[in-house]
Structure 1
Amino acid sequence: MRMSRPLVLAASTALLVLPLSACGGDEQDPAKALRDAVSAVSGKGSAELVMETRDPEDGTSTREGKFSWKPGSRGADVVMQTADSKDFEQLAGSDGKARLLSGKDFFYVELDSPLNGRKWLDLSGDSGSEQDTTPDNGPETAIAALATADDLKKAGTEKVNGQDTDHYTGTVDVAELAETKLQGVSGNSRDEYAENLRNQGLKKVRIEVWIGDDGLAVRTVESGRTAKGAYRETVDIKSYGDGFTVDRPPASEVATLEEFVRSLQ
């Protein structure tokens, strides 16, 4: 869900995409239920969630926290953990986790061991690292993409995270998606979403969405095969919001990447 993979960002290469739909939609027409969901969710600007990404190149990572895709306040404040990156271990605490802050033009990692009293590492200039973690699209983009799947179906009703949900599934061809008009979604958002999938190495993506009684997604899954193996991203959504602003840490608490690298020598 794509992008360069700098040394200290091996666990932060996934973009947020949160598909959702509408519970209780017309079971004979799942596409209509999804199109209705696009309209319903367009007013949402952020979510608190837990995301697990299984990538054949980067390994397995989890992120838990808040993501905002609202125009003018896109950003993320999350705690990340990865079991497969030795590079990330240099940043993570004893529990294997590190807090990340990102915004339109900045990206910071909280160091487990402060560097000369400064606990934040500034990675804002690293090969687009802030773009790698700041959401480009809201949930309506993936939902609209799922609505175009030729094999779209309602797979059933299930209880997920304590909620009754409707489960929708479908497979989307990424090249065709880039040329398809998505109802309720701008061309720019569609292009960004398709580009994210291509950057992951996906030619086809299977999208699954579980929708609660309030019409919002409780869980989403995107999966597919790349040239290097299987990719899968599972998102459990705790709550939605109207967007938020991620503030930069105080300059007195920030160390540069150059200073961090020197400290390792």
Structure 2
Amino acid sequence: MRRLAPALALGAAALVAVTGCGAQGTSSLGNIKLAAAEAVQQSAQRAGEVTSYSADLVLDATGGDRGASKVQGRLLYQSKPALATDITLDTITFGGQNVPGGARAVLVGDTVYVKSEMLSKFAGVTKPWAKVTLSELAAGDQARVKDFMAQAQQFDLAGTVKMLTASKDVKAVGTETVDGVETTHYSGTFPVAEAAQAMDPAKREQLQKQLSRVKDVKFDLWSDAGSLPRKVTLSGSEQGATFNLAAFFKGFNEPVQIAAPPAEQVGELPKGTGGN
């Protein structure tokens, strides 16, 4: 789990930092021409209405203390009637070493379910899934699993768009089709320190931790005629470490199926799993 947990955390950190735009330039959204800053404000308003969606992502990172890394996967998210997420990471590579079989984590209610070959191999889990409650994470020493789930709970489009309004140089650069949907393409940068201040306190600390080595993040946003983000890329570099993220969003406000695995397939997550 020592290799699995940081992999999950990085995958979730990548997902947290998605969507946005913010400051000058003009573009057409439907039949209305909006300045880029106005467009992102409208995006934030529309994103606040989204209660469910799915996303595909690819994260590549180089440098740093882990060497070259890659995380590729997908997620389902819903905020109503209760918060639930289902994250599948098909590819997890750190320093040229793969996490066999990838990993999957499901949050339903106050319980986290994790599935990975690494749990069976190194943590002695005898069933396909292991579970732990959020309260147990808060009181226990599964530090990295706790960090992962804290990040998983931040998958909210409205908060992310609000964060990216910290950009002072965003501009519209044209129109493009993403997955068959016509979009407006925006490009810009945002300072991490200022973006963190736009977040609520519970999420601010996590963001600062995730991007502690990066001062400024470059982003590209492809927003549809309804001001919803269809594609986002993020990139940054600091002290020899770089990252590039591509995320595709779809299924806004459509029903999603997120359920706990069958009880007979679930065991307890051993105490101390994913510690420091």
TM-score of the superposed pair, with normalisation by structure 1: 0.75
Aligned: 1:76 with 2:88: no
Q: 1:229 aligns with which of 233, 241, 245?
A: 241
Residue 55 (structure 2) pairs with residue 49 (structure 1): yes
- Looking at structure 1, the residues matched to 74 and 251 of structure 2 have their Cα atoms a distance apart, in angstroms, of 12
CA offsets, 1:77-133, max 9 Å, x none?
A: 1321225244722xx1xxxx4432124643322346988972212366421155255
Identify the range of structure 1 (194-203 vs 208-217) with the bigger mean alpha-carbon deviation.
194-203
**Whole-Å separation in 2 of the counterparts to 1:205 and 1:104:** 33
- Amino acid across the alignment from 2:237: R
2:184 is aligned, of 149, 166, 170, to 166
Determine which of 212, 237, 252 is the counterpart of 2:224: 212
Secondary structure at the counterpart of residue 240 of structure 1: coil
Partner Cα distance (1:133, 1:72) in 2: 20
Matches within 5 A, 1:117-136: 118-122=127-131, 125=137, 126-127=142-143, 128-132=146-150, 134-136=152-154
Kindly indicate whether residue 33 of structure 2 is the aligned counterpart of residue 38 of structure 1. no
Mean CA deviation greater in 146-155 or 112-121: 112-121
Distance in 1 (CA, whole Å) between partners of 2:73 and 2:259 is 19
Q: Which amino acid aligns with 1:12?
A: L
The reply to whether residue 156 of structure 1 matches residue 156 of structure 2 is: no
1:176–1:147 Cα change, 3 Å: closer
Q: Does 1:192 align with 2:203?
A: yes
| Percent identical residues | 19
When the two structures are aligned, how many residues end up with a matched partner? 242
Quote the residue 2:19 is aligned against.
Answer: 19
How far 1:65 moved relative to its partner? 3.2
**1:170 and 1:206 in contact (8 A); partners too:** yes
> 5+ unaligned residues in a row in structure 2: which ranges?
22-27
Aligned-residue CA RMSD in angstroms? 3.4
User: Could you say which structure has the higher helix fraction?
Assistant: 2
| Residue aligned with 2:99, SS | helix
Aligned mates of 2:181, 2:207 — CA distance in 1: 30
Cα deviation code 1:199-232 (max 9, x no counterpart): 2332211222101223211101222113351112
- 2:71 alignment partner, one of 58, 61, 64: 61
C-alpha distance in structure 2 between counterparts of 1:28 and 1:258, whole Å: 53
Conserved in 2, the CA contact under 8 Å of 1:9 and 1:88? no
Pair 1:223–1:103, CA change in 2 (3 A): farther
User: Partner of 2:111 in structure 1?
Assistant: 106
Is there any run of 5+ residues in structure 1 with no aligned partner, and where? 181-186
Q: Residues of 2 paired with 1:59 and 1:103: CA distance? A: 29
What is the Cα deviation at residue 152 of structure 1? 1.2
112 and 23 in structure 1: CA distance in 2 versus 1, 3 angstrom threshold: farther
Deviations 1:25-52 (A, max 9, x none): 8656110011112112211122111011
Give the distance between the partners of 1:194 and 1:157, measured in 2 at CA.
35
Q: CA deviation at 1:166?
A: 0.2
